A and B are shown apart, each in its own frame.
Chain A
Amino acid sequence: MGTILSLKNIVKVYPNGVVANKGINIDVQENTIHAIVGENGAGKSTLMKIIFGEEIPQEGEILYKGKKVKIHNSLEAIAMGIGMIHQHLMLAPDLTVAENIILGEEPVKWKLFLDSKKILKKTEEACKEFGFEVPLNKLVKDLPVGIRQRIEILKVLIRNAELIILDEPTSVLTPQETEVLFKSLKELKAKGKTIIFISHKLKEVKVIADRVTIIRDGKDIATEDASKLTEHEIAELMVGREISFERIPEAEKTGEAYLKVNGLNYINEENLHVLKNVSFEVRRGEILGLAGVEGNGQTELVEILTGLREATSGHIFLGEREITGFTPRDIRELGVSHIPEDRMENGVAEKSTIQENIIVDRYYKKPFARGMVLDWKKITEHSEELIKQFKILAQSSKTPVSALSGGNIQKVVVARELSSEPKLIVADQPTRGIDVGSEEMVHELLMNARDNGIAVFLVSADLDEILKISSRILVIYNGEIVAEFDSPAKVTQEQLGPYMLGVKRDKH
C-alpha cells in the first residue's frame, strides 16, 4: 500500500484576494477512505477542486502515483484516473440514467448516431461490475437524490477512476440513504479504489474513514488514523476550542399559538400540487422544527409564510390577524423575520456593503432615514454595533459582503433578522454550509429568541440540527405533514427517516 496522492505546500489565492489554502500538505494512502474535515471556509472544497483540476494553485506540488503532475483541467484529472462527485450533483435531468452515465464517451454508429444498444450494454456491465443497482432507462429528473448520487459515482467509475473524491456527499441524503452510500463506498474500497471523503459531520467520518485530515483556516492541522481520534477531539481540532454537542434543554414555558397556518395549498406553475392541506401552529417561546428531505415543499411553504409567494388556498394568521396575501414588507412590519434558505440568492446583495445589507428591512425607518434622506452616520453606527455583537469578521461596515466567508455572510443575515425585534422567526436551513463555530452561535441565538418568548419556525434538512434545538418536530413529505413529535428528546434520526422518505405516515 503506497501513497497514491501527495499534496505538498499547496497555496491558492482567489482573484478577490481570499487565500483559501495557505500551504497544505496531505498524503493519501492507496486503497483507503480518507476523510477531510474542516469548517466551511477552511479551504476543503478549494483543495478538492485543485486535485480535480478545476482550480490552479499558485504554489505547491501534486504527486500522483509518485509522479509530479500539473493538472490544468478536469479532463486531465479524469484521464489520470481521478473522479469527483460534487456536492451539487451535475447530471442532465432530461436524459436517461444510462445516457447520463455514458455522457461524454457515447458509443456511436457511423460517427453520427447514438448507439443506444451499446450504451445500455456498457452501462449494464458497469452496474454489475460495481454492484450498483440503478434504473438505467428512467429519466434522471424522476429519481430521488440518493439514486442520482449513485449515478454520479457510476459515471466516475466507468471512466476508470482510481481516486474518487466526494464533496459532502451526505448533505443531501436521509440517514437511510447515507447508509446505502457508505455500504457502496466500502465495497469500492474492497475493489481497490481510493476515496477522499469530505464532510463536516463527524459521526460519519468516524463510521467510514480510515484516515482523517483536519483543515483549519487554510492549513492542515493534523492527519491521523480515524480510530485514534474521538468525535470530540476532531471537532476541537476543527475549531481550535472546546464545543458542546448535547441537546439543549427546552424552554420552560411556551405561550399561546402565534403563527397559525390553516389548510394551505399550493399548486405551482407546472400544475404540481406542491403543498397539500398544510396546517400547523407555532407557539410563542417554542422552536417548531420542520424536518424533511429538501424539495418536499419546504421552500414554497416558507416563501408563502413570508409573502414572497402566493398560496393557492388556505389561511395564515399572526396572532388574531390574517396575513394571507400580505406583501413581504407588510409581513415584516408585523414582526416576522426570515432567514432564507439560499443566502446568496435572497439573503444578501453580494456587491453591496455590509451596512447596505443590514438596513434592507429598516432603511426607511427612523433613525436611519428622515423623510426620504438616509442618515449614513446612524446606519454605520448601527451596523458597526451589530458587527461587534454578532462577531462578524470584517474590516468595517463598508466592506462588501462578497469579501466575507460563508459563515460570516450568514452572520450578516442573522444579525439583520434577529435585530429587528421579531415576534416570529422563520429560519430556513439557517446553518447550511457554515462552520461549526457559526452554527453554534446561530443555534444559541435562536434558543435565546425562544426563551424571550419569540415563536421560531425552523426548517432544516439537517436532522442533527432539528433534534438539537426543536421543541416540537413536524415531518414533511411530498407537500404533506406526515408526522408530529411532541417530545424530540425521545426521537432518534432513525425514527424520522421512514417518514422523510414517505414510507411511513401518521397523519392523514
Chain B
Amino acid sequence: MEKFIVKYFHLIRTIIAVLIGIVISVLIIFIISKNPGFSLKSFFLGPLLSKGRFGNFIETASPIILCGLAISIPFQAEQFNIGAEGALFIGAAVGTAFAVSTHMPAILHITTVLLIAGITGAIWGFIPGILKAKWNTDELVISLMMNYVAYFLGLYLINYHFRDKSAGFLVSYELPKTAWLAQFVPGTRIHLGIIISFAFAILTYYFLYHTTRGYEIRTTGINKNFARFGGINVFMVIVLSQVLGGFLAGIGGMTEVMGLHRRFNWQLSPGYGWDGVVVAIIGRNNPIYIIFAALFLSYLRTGGQIMNLLSDIPSEMVVAIQSIIILLITAEAFLERFKYRITIREAKRKEAIDEPNN
C-alpha cells in the first residue's frame, strides 16, 4: 500500500487536491445559493444531462488540449513560453484570411488552412525562441508581449480587411464550405477538431518520448549544461521547442474557427492559451495526462456556464473554484511531508529486510 502511494504520489495528490477543491466549492455554493441542491446539480452533473451540453464540454476540450500541448513542448525544454494565446489568435486570424480568399477541394483546403494557421503560430514561437537562443532574452516576457501584438494585429486583419459587413457583428466572412471541419455527432456541435487534438496529443507524446528530437528537448529541459556537454545543439532545441509550441497553438485556434463558428468571431481573446498553461501544469507536461487535464478543465468550464445560466451562482464563483483546485494541484509541497513519512517507513523496512543478509 505504502509503495503504491509513493509510486502514484502525483496522481493521488492531484485527486486529493481536486476533492478538496470540490468540497470547498460545495461549501461556497451552500453559502451563496438559495437553492444549493439545484446549483450543485447543474454545476457537477450539468454537462452530462443533455446532449447539447455534453457537446459543449467536448467542443471546449479540443482547443484546450492543443494549447496544453503547445505549452508543454517548450515547458519540457524549460522554456517558459506562454505565447500560446497569441499564437492561437494570430494563427486563426491569418488562417481565416487565407481560407476566405482561396478556393480548393475540401481535403486540400482543410490541410492548407490548418498548415497556414500552424505556420503563423510557429512564427509567433520562433521570435521569442531565436531571441532567447541568440541574446538570452526572457522568453516569458517576450512571448507575453507577443500576445498583445498577435491580438491587435489579428483584430486589424479581420476587422479592416476580412470583415463581413453584411453580418450584424464584427466577424469575418464565413469560411467556404470546403474549409469546414465536419460536425459529426448529430444534436451537438462536436466537430473533427476533437479528433485532431487527440491525434496531436498522441503524436506529441510519441515525438517527446520516442524520437531523437524529443529526447534532445527533454534532456535540455532537465539540464541544459549536460545537453550541451553531450553534444546536443541547445540553440536549436530552444528555438525548435517554441516553434513547435506555436505551431500547435495556431492549429488549436484554427480548428475552433473551422469547426465551431465557421467565421472568425473573436473580438476578445478566447483565453484557451491560458487554459493551456493550466492543463500543461496539471498534466505535468505529459501529452497523455494533458488530454485528461483538458477534459477536466472543460468539464468545469461547461458546468460553470450551465450553473451560471440556470442557478443564482455567478460565473465569477466558478472561476474562483477552478483557481482553488489548480492552486492545490500546483502547490509542490502539498502533502510532501506525508510522502516523506511514508518514504522513511519504507526505507526502514527495507533496511530491516536487508540486515540479516549483511
A interface list, Cβ under 8 A from B:
11, 13, 15-19, 22, 58, 306, 308, 327-329, 332-333, 338, 340, 345-352, 356-357, 359-361, 363-364, 369, 372-374, 376
Q: CB distance A363 to B351 under 8 Å?
A: no
Q: Which of A348, A352, A372 contacts B212 (CB 8 A)?
A: A372
Q: CB distance A369 to B226 under 8 Å?
A: no
Q: Which of B213, B231, B232 contacts A372 (CB 8 A)?
A: B213
Q: Which of A18, A329, A369 contacts B233 (CB 8 A)?
A: A329
Interface residues on B, range: 20 to 34
In the assembled complex, 6 residue pairs joining A and B whose CB atoms fall closer than 8 Å, in A order, are: A327-B231, A329-B231, A351-B222, A352-B222, A356-B215, A374-B215
Taking the complex as formed, is B225 at the interface, i.e. its CB lies under 8 A from any CB of chain A?
yes
Q: Which of A329, A348, A374, A376 contacts B226 (CB 8 A)?
A: A348
Tell me, in angstroms, the Cα distance from A467 to B210 when the chains sit together: 46
Q: CB distance A372 to B225 under 8 Å?
A: no
Q: Which of A18, A347, A349, A360 contacts B231 (CB 8 A)?
A: A360
| Per-residue contact bits, chain B 196-214, to A (CB 8 Å; 1 contact, 0 not) | 0000000000000011110
Q: CB distance A13 to B211 under 8 Å?
A: no
**Chain A residues closer than 8 Å to B222, beta-carbon distance:** 349-352
Give, as a whole number of angstroms, the nearest-CB distance from B92 to chain A: 30
Tell me, in angstroms, the Cα distance from A347 to B219 when the chains sit together: 12
Q: CB distance B347 to A347 under 8 Å?
A: no
Give, as a whole number of angstroms, the nearest-CB distance from B163 to chain A: 43
Q: CB distance A369 to B212 under 8 Å?
A: yes
Taking the complex as formed, is B344 at the interface, i.e. its CB lies under 8 A from any CB of chain A?
yes
Give, as a whole number of angstroms, the nearest-CB distance from B8 to chain A: 16
- Of chain A, the residue at the smallest CB distance from B231 is A329
**Chain B residues closer than 8 Å to A357, beta-carbon distance:** 226
Taking the complex as formed, is B343 at the interface, i.e. its CB lies under 8 A from any CB of chain A?
yes
- Scoring B211, B231, B232, B339 by chain A CB atoms within 10 A of each residue's CB, the highest score goes to B231
Give, as a whole number of angstroms, the nearest-CB distance from A474 to chain B: 24
Q: CB distance B210 to A19 under 8 Å?
A: no
**Chain B residues closer than 8 Å to A333, beta-carbon distance:** 231
- Of chain B, the residue at the smallest CB distance from A346 is B229
Q: CB distance B219 to A360 under 8 Å?
A: yes
Q: CB distance B343 to A373 under 8 Å?
A: no
Tell me, in angstroms, the Cα distance from A422 to B234 when the chains sit together: 23
Given A13-B344, A17-B343, does the pair A360, B211 have CB atoms closer than 8 Å? no
Given A349-B223, A374-B211, does the pair A328, B343 have CB atoms closer than 8 Å? no
Taking the complex as formed, is B73 at the interface, i.e. its CB lies under 8 A from any CB of chain A?
no
Q: CB distance A15 to B212 under 8 Å?
A: no
Give, as a whole number of angstroms, the nearest-CB distance from A369 to chain B: 5
Tell me, in angstroms, the Cα distance from A277 to B210 when the chains sit together: 46
**Chain B residues closer than 8 Å to A327, beta-carbon distance:** 231, 233
Q: Secondary structure of the B side of the interface? A: helix
Taking the complex as formed, is B103 at the interface, i.e. its CB lies under 8 A from any CB of chain A?
no
Q: CB distance B227 to A19 under 8 Å?
A: no
| Per-residue contact bits, chain B 224-261, to A (CB 8 Å; 1 contact, 0 not) | 01111111110000000000000000000000000000
Tell me, in angstroms, the Cα distance from A13 to B211 when the chains sit together: 38
**Given known contacts A346-B229, A349-B223, A349-B227, what 9 new A-B pairs fall within 8 Å (CB)?**
A13-B344, A18-B347, A19-B351, A328-B231, A338-B229, A348-B226, A349-B226, A352-B219, A369-B212
Give, as a whole number of angstroms, the nearest-CB distance from A498 to chain B: 34
Question: Which chain B residues in 299-358 approach chain A with CB under 8 Å?
Answer: 336, 339-340, 343-344, 346-348, 351
| Per-residue contact bits, chain B 253-272, to A (CB 8 Å; 1 contact, 0 not) | 00000000000000000000
**Chain B residues closer than 8 Å to A17, beta-carbon distance:** 6, 343, 346-347
Tell me, in angstroms, the Cα distance from A369 to B213 when the chains sit together: 11
**Chain B residues closer than 8 Å to A360, beta-carbon distance:** 219, 226-227, 229-232
Tell me, in angstroms, the Cα distance from A361 to B230 when the chains sit together: 5
Q: Which of A22, A346, A348, A369 contacts B351 (CB 8 A)?
A: A22
**Chain B residues closer than 8 Å to A372, beta-carbon distance:** 211-213
**Chain B residues closer than 8 Å to A58, beta-carbon distance:** 344
Q: Which of B211, B228, B339, B348 contacts A328 (CB 8 A)?
A: B228
Q: CB distance B223 to A364 under 8 Å?
A: no
Question: Which chain B residues in 21-48 approach chain A with CB under 8 Å?
Answer: none
Given A332-B231, A360-B219, A376-B210, does the pair A13, B226 have CB atoms closer than 8 Å? no
Tell me, in angstroms, the Cα distance from A183 to B23 when the chains sit together: 67
Tell me, in angstroms, the Cα distance from A249 to B346 when the chains sit together: 47
- Of chain A, the residue at the smallest CB distance from B230 is A360
Q: CB distance A347 to B226 under 8 Å?
A: yes
Give, as a whole number of angstroms, the nearest-CB distance from B30 to chain A: 38
**Chain A residues closer than 8 Å to B344, beta-carbon distance:** 13, 58
**Chain B residues closer than 8 Å to A347, beta-carbon distance:** 226, 229
Closest A-B pairs by Cβ, 3 of them: A360-B230, A329-B231, A349-B223
- Of chain A, the residue at the smallest CB distance from B211 is A372
**Chain B residues closer than 8 Å to A13, beta-carbon distance:** 343-344, 347-348
Give, as a whole number of angstroms, the nearest-CB distance from B53 to chain A: 41
Give, as a whole number of angstroms, the nearest-CB distance from B160 to chain A: 43
**Chain A residues closer than 8 Å to B233, beta-carbon distance:** 327, 329
**Chain A residues closer than 8 Å to B343, beta-carbon distance:** 13, 15-17
**Chain A residues closer than 8 Å to B346, beta-carbon distance:** 17
Tell me, in angstroms, the Cα distance from A372 to B211 when the chains sit together: 5
Tell me, in angstroms, the Cα distance from A308 to B225 when the chains sit together: 10
- Of chain B, the residue at the smallest CB distance from A19 is B347
Give, as a whole number of angstroms, the nearest-CB distance from A31 to chain B: 36
Tell me, in angstroms, the Cα distance from A360 to B215 when the chains sit together: 9
**Chain A residues closer than 8 Å to B211, beta-carbon distance:** 372-374
Give, as a whole number of angstroms, the nearest-CB distance from B346 to chain A: 7
Q: Which of A18, A22, A328, A351 contacts B229 (CB 8 A)?
A: A328
**Chain A residues closer than 8 Å to B228, beta-carbon distance:** 308, 328
Give, as a whole number of angstroms, the nearest-CB distance from B227 to chain A: 7
**Chain B residues closer than 8 Å to A349, beta-carbon distance:** 219, 222-223, 226-227
**Chain A residues closer than 8 Å to B219, beta-carbon distance:** 349, 352, 356, 360
- Scoring A332, A372, A376 by chain B CB atoms within 10 A of each residue's CB, the highest score goes to A372
Given A58-B344, A376-B210, does the pair A340, B215 have CB atoms closer than 8 Å? no
- Scoring A13, A327, A351 by chain B CB atoms within 10 A of each residue's CB, the highest score goes to A13
**Chain A residues closer than 8 Å to B351, beta-carbon distance:** 19, 22
Give, as a whole number of angstroms, the nearest-CB distance from B235 to chain A: 10
Give, as a whole number of angstroms, the nearest-CB distance from A2 to chain B: 33
- Of chain A, the residue at the smallest CB distance from B344 is A13
Give, as a whole number of angstroms, the nearest-CB distance from B232 to chain A: 7
**Chain B residues closer than 8 Å to A22, beta-carbon distance:** 351
**Chain A residues closer than 8 Å to B339, beta-carbon distance:** 15
- Of chain A, the residue at the smallest CB distance from B220 is A349
- Of chain A, the residue at the smallest CB distance from B343 is A17
**Chain B residues closer than 8 Å to A373, beta-carbon distance:** 210-212
Give, as a whole number of angstroms, the nearest-CB distance from B42 to chain A: 43
Give, as a whole number of angstroms, the nearest-CB distance from B114 to chain A: 22
Tell me, in angstroms, the Cα distance from A236 to B179 when the chains sit together: 78
- Of chain B, the residue at the smallest CB distance from A219 is B358
